[in-house]
Every structure is written in C-alpha cells, then in structure tokens.
Amino acid sequence: MKAIILAAGHGKRMKSKTHKVLHTIAGKPMLHHVIDTCLEVGINDITVVVGHQGDTVREATPQSVHFVTQSEQLGTGHAVMCAKESIAPDDTVLVLYGDTPLLTSTLLSALSDFQQKNQAHAVVVSTTVSDPQGYGRVIIERDNIFSAIVEQRDLSPEQEAIARINTGTYIFTGRELLYGLEHIGNDNHQNEYYLTDVPAVLQKAGHHCLVYHDTDYQQFLGINSQAQLAEAAVVMKERILHRHLENGVVMIDPSTVYIDWNVSIEPGATLLPGVMLEGNCAIAEGAIIGPYSRLINTTIGVDTMVQNSVLESTKIGDYSQVGPFAYLRPGTVVGNHCRVGDFVELKNATLGDNSKASHLAYVGDTTVGAGVNIGCGVVTVNYDGVNKHRTIIEDNAFVGSNVNLIAPVAVRAGAFVAAGSTITDEVPSEAFAIARQRQTNKEGRAPKRKT
C-alpha cells in the first residue's frame, strides 16, 4: 500500500506564519502525526503533496517521504494528480490529509482489511456527527455500496437529515484512481478538480465502490483554525494519558497533567498535579515528578524526585532530588544520589555522584566531581563579556557559601574553599583556600552611618 498525503493548502484561517500542517499537537507537527501513523501500519511509500511554504514543510519533516509540489491550488483532485507519477496501476493507494492528526493506526489497519476482503476499487470513509451542517453527506445503497457524495449546497430536504458525512479519507486501487483522475472535470463555481468526484466517476463506470463507516468521529477532525487545533489537542491529551495510565503510571490528578506524544514513562512512576512533560522525555520507574514541574527533552532516573522545577535537555541519575524551584538548563548531567536544591541553576554542567548544591547557587559550564559540596550562594563566573570559560571542581572538594569561582579555574580533589572567597587561581589538591580581605572594625562609627 502507498499513501498520498495532501498538505498544499494555505491554512489562512490559522492566522499564523507557521504552515498549517506544521502546527504542533502533543509536541509533534500535525503532518508528522499522519506520516507516523502510516509508518506504524507498515506503509513506507508515502508521497506528500505540498504547495504553500513547500520548502518549509520539506525542511521540517525528518521522516523519509517523497514530496511533490502543487504549484497552483486547483482542488483536492488536482493535488492527487500532481502525485500521479508515484501511482502504479497495481498499487493500493491511501489518500489522507495532512491536517488530520488524530487518525489512528487501528483505523488504517481496519480500512485496509476491509478493502482487501471486499476487493473494492474505491473505499470512501464516513463517520457520523451530531451536527452535519456544512459537511458533504455520503449516500449509500444496501451493503455499504457507495452511491454518492452530496455537498451541503446540493442537498435535498431529505438528504439534509443524513448524519453520515465524508471524512476525506479514501482507499483506491491504482488503476481505478488513475482512471478517475482522468475523467473528473472542473465544471463548478471554483473551477477546481475535486477528489470527491472520483468515487462517483468510478461507480458510474461500473467499478466496485464501497463505504467504510467508523463511529469515532473525533479521529477525523480536520484542523483549520486555532480553535480546532485546541479541540484536537484535548482529544490527543486524553489518548496519551489513557495510554500511560493503562501502562501503570500513577497520576494524582490526570486532568492537570500534559504529556507530549514521544514521552516515555516506565510503570510505577508518579506524576503529581501540574506536570508538563515535553519533547522526548524519559521517566524511570519509581520517579516522582511534580507538583508543577516542566521537563523538556529530559531523562529522569530510578526513584528520583523533581519538585516545582524546570529542566530542559538534562539528564538526572538514580535516587537524586531536584528542587523545589531549581532550573536545570541544556547540557546538564546530574549523577546518582545527588541533591540540587531550591533556587539552584545548572547550565552545561555535570554533577558527579553524591554531590550536592542545596540552595541558591549558579553552576554554569562546570564539571563537578563526586562527593562535592557546593555551598549556598556559590557562583561559577563563567562569562568574561566575550567568551565562556569552564570551571573544574574535583572529587570530594568543599566549596563554602558565597564563593565566586572566576573561570577558567580548577579546585582540585579534596580541596576546601572558605566561605566568602573569590578564587582566581587553581586550588591544589587537599589545600585550604581563603581569598577575602581581612575584617576591619571602626569603633563608634555605626551611628554616623545611620544618619
């Protein structure tokens, strides 16, 4: 089976500079959802028809697909015509839209089975909605035999009551699809070629055309506006939550939890209220995330706790604690049995096993060994106004409170840096470093400073 995905439209109703099919839902562009669903059922030969911002769509699509360009938007039938070179007579061709991200692999598998079992030349997929106003209606004869697709403006009073609508999803045999494309016209008020005319052409020519009906109307939701995107996001969110709950993830209040599509969570992990997991996060068994934490492309180890914190592109080991109110920025790696406490910021830093920065510290562009203590108020001064420089703190070093480490600088294994020091030179192994001005007391001068 091959797939043709139509993604050439402008999407003006989105009112956005971003191409419609590149708007994300659950952390992944709509078009990528459709492509990945095809790949999931073994459809590897995929052609995407692009037009408006076609180069942008190409560049943003990592999957291995073939692109063709619809230079002029002359209707859905014309869009499929642009992909004719990819259609062989013996093919079976699935036609989808790039703005229907809720389609499921279950549907595509069932649709393929239905087409093969009945040896249908064309299958029109329909669903039922409570308010069909504005949709084309699918008319069937007995035994799901296709009769017609009637657009809203052409409906008779009797047909107005029909709730079975066209979803825009089809399967064709290649030879019949090519025949249908050759015989549709553009004699309509927009002078466009409509794909909806192809089944009627085939049925009139005596080909075997059927209707496959699926009652789950939500998976056919097409996204044409920000409101519809938000509606689809709610559906996707519920699917994702259900998948993780069924897999043994604990959620105290699922309604407040947001999980992107590609997030991996092992059974036994706990998500507290207000958690957002974005991108390619991976959460291990026994981890506790939240409340009110945001993780982006972050890996969390076994039995690690993250509270009220933001972590981006970081990796945290096993049995560690992060937060509350910590900020871990890209490039940070925290080991096992570590503590990153309140109002600590790590950036492009590594923290070895059993090390801790318990509160109020900035550790940037720094390599910290195992068993290190980073005191309250410590700052690694990594930026000289032009370049970033690295700080090295080796195993079992102790850095006291309110210390400034002026990079590039190293504190060697077992060294001790006294509180309040500003360190500009290397501290040797096992050395005690103190770098602060001697205190001077001026007797009786305090009252004058208060007036």
Q: What backbone torsions phi and psi does residue 390 show, to the nearest 5 degrees?
A: -105, 145
Q: At what angle do helices 105-118 and 30-40 cross, to 10 degrees?
A: 50
How big is the CA angle at 214 (ends 210 and 217), to the nearest 5 degrees?
A: 130
> Hunting for tokens 């700080």 — which residue is that?
391
Do 67 and 58 contact (CB within 8 A), yes or no? yes
Do 75 and 193 contact (CB within 8 A), yes or no? yes
What does the DSSP assignment read for 296-343?
A: ES-EE-TT-EE-S-EEESEEE-TT-EE-SS-EE-TTEEE-TT-EEEEE
Exactly one of 23, 32, 33, 359 is catalytic; name it. Answer: 359
Q: How many CA atoms lie within 13 A of 57 on its CB side?
A: 30
Q: Is 377 exposed, middle or buried (0-12, 13-18, 19+ CB in 10 A)?
A: middle
Helix (H) or strand (E) holding 394: none
359 labelled catalytic: yes
C-alpha distances (whole Å) from 10 to each of 16, 48, 53, 80, 99 are 10, 15, 8, 17, 11
Neighbours of 266 (CB within 10 A): 17
Nearest to 370 by CA among 338, 402, 399: 338
- What span, in angstroms and rounded, lies between the C-alpha atoms of 390 and 202? 70
- Residues known to be catalytic: 359
